[in-house]
Structure 1
Amino acid sequence: MTITPQIPARTDDDAAPVQPAGHDSDFDAWPGMATGQLATARQAAEPLVLPYDLTGTTTRQLRRLVNQMYKALDADFPPYGAQEDYDRLADELERRAAEAREGSGGAERPGAFRDNPMNHRFELFQDGMLAGYVTYSLRAGTLQLHRTVVAGAFEGSGLEGVLIRKVLLDAHKRRLAAVPYCDQVQAFLADNPQYRSLVAI
């Protein structure tokens, strides 16, 4: 009778681990193990189209846009400019929250005056309508006033002077050096010399 010697199993590091045939679910893959399944990267999120002027957007719509933009930022490949759009939305929400805390009522209150930094202009509302605005640029503590516009329905009502006065007082309160490049502002200062101390000339 022939005796077949038993060969002991290899125990060196090069030996392939013995896996149960047909029972892939009986073991867990360890970190770094090549399982043959490629991980799927999250696709780039579709860019959101934001309105240029957010003043006509309701607060509820803003919150929804902020949530959608946050999800877009969480993607592996966020859309170009997503961070800037998110910051813009968050700033507008914060501005509205500050308005609500101060009880200003925003643009709906007759005679309301506000700074609209998104559009770089000071705005004056009358009876819920935009009556006029002064465009500006702000740089290193200097407020450059460029143009004064009054809606046709309010021309000749004296709102231009009211608007310019509010702009100058607001700049003074914020310790900004107002520089009047605007012809209307210069004419206002010529007629109202008591406000010349509020501008940098």
Structure 2
Amino acid sequence: MAEVRNDPAQHRYEVLEDGAVAGFAEYMEVRGDRIVFTHTEVDPAFGGKGLGSVLVAGALEDARDRDLAIVPICPFVARYVHAHPEFVPFLDERIRKAFE
């Protein structure tokens, strides 16, 4: 089963499959109440398992639970939010309208 964890020292969330890092979603250093997602990547060896979606869902849920305004600069994260409108209310208010 896949696990998502935050690695604040490296400014990224990681998805682990059987204890191995299978992918990551990078973010800029959290400042104030915003988290800016910049890049998401899944190792091709773990491709086709939906781990990118598991990773982004876990990262967005954690950001929401920490009351951080989400800024999805990463195209994968932005597409995920478009497909999962339950996260739109948690976007930074300056970009929320683009997702509604």
TM-score band by shorter chain is: 0.7 to 0.9
Unaligned segments of structure 2, at least 5 residues: none
TM-score, normalised via structure 2 length: 0.84
CA distance in 2, matches of 1:185, 1:152: 18
- Does the 8 Å contact 2:2/2:51 carry over to 1? no
Unaligned segments of structure 1, at least 5 residues: 1-109
TM-score, normalised via structure 1 length: 0.44
Q: Give 1:111's aligned amino acid.
A: A
Which structure has the highest strand share of the two?
Answer: 2
Cα RMSD after superposing both structures:
1.2
**1:189 Cα shift?**
1.4
CA distance in 2, matches of 1:124, 1:135: 12
- Does the 8 Å contact 1:169/1:198 carry over to 2? no
1:101-157 Cα distance to aligned partner (Å, 9 max, x none): xxxxxxxxx522211111110111001110111100111221000000111112221
The list of structure 1 runs, each at least 4 consecutive aligned residues, that deviate by more than 4 angstroms after superposition, is none
Q: 1:129 aligns with which of 20, 26, 48?
A: 20
Larger Rg: 1
- Does the 8 Å contact 2:25/2:39 carry over to 1? yes
Q: State the match for 2:64 in structure 1.
A: 172
| Number of positions where the alignment pairs a residue of Structure 1 with one of Structure 2 | 92
SS at 2:36 equivalent: strand
Q: State the match for 2:55 in structure 1.
A: 163
Q: RCO (CA 8 Å, sep 6+): is it higher in 1 or 2?
A: 2
